Amino acid sequence: MEGVVRTRVGYAGGSSADPTYRSMGDHSESIQIDYDPERLTYGDLLDVFWSSHRPTSPAWSRQYASAIFTHDDEQLALATASKARLEERTGTLHTDIVPLDRFYLAEDYHQKYRLRNTRALMREFHEMYPDDDSFRESTAAARVNGYLDGYGTPRELEGEVGEYGLSDAGVDMLRDAVHPRARR
């Protein structure tokens, strides 16, 4: 989404300390989103959240629970109001809205998963961001990962592809990954 600066995956909502993928305890898999409030509102993020999954279906495990973890009273109020509006149209939503106690980063191999599994592009990103921390925090890596996962349009990509630091071959690989989806 335009206005999203970076994303990180991790775990939240549980009581156990230092969860991992293999020992998650009572946490849920979560995403942390940094965004530019001049270009995108919290309400916009909530709209995407509600439309990108089935909140009317109960989660089959705590790991995959539908939840919004809020940072302050304003986010809590906005999330609660958006849930109430949607429930008026659809019925009960199985989504928890709770204040965030702590967000634990997932292991490095989970960060930017689609990009990590696109080897040729990942080689280029590894040259630009040789350590896992800088790769995880990279706006370019977050944007490219989103495109590889099917989000964004060819038009959006063309408006920003030059900002990613990719070689001409890398740009062509990314275009090839995005454009065929648009023609389906």
Answer yes or no: are the C-beta atoms of 136 and 8 closer than 8 Å.
Answer: yes
DSSP for 18-72 reads: S--SS--TT-EEEEEEEE-TTT--HHHHHHHHHHTS-TTSPPSSGGG-EEEEESS
* Res 1: pLDDT: 84
Give average pLDDT by consecutive 10-residue segment, the chain, 184 residues.
92 96 95 96 96 90 95 98 96 95 96 95 96 96 93 87 92 86 42
Between 168-183 and 139-148, two packed helices, what is the crossing angle to 10 degrees? Answer: 40
pTM score of the predicted model: 0.87
Question: What 3-state DSSP class applies to 122?
Answer: helix
Q: Kindly state the helix (H) or strand (E) to which residue 7 belongs, with its residue range.
A: strand 4-12
Residue of 107, 128, 140, 134 lying closest to 6 (CA atoms): 140
17 dihedral zone (left: phi>0; alpha: psi -120 to 50; beta) = beta
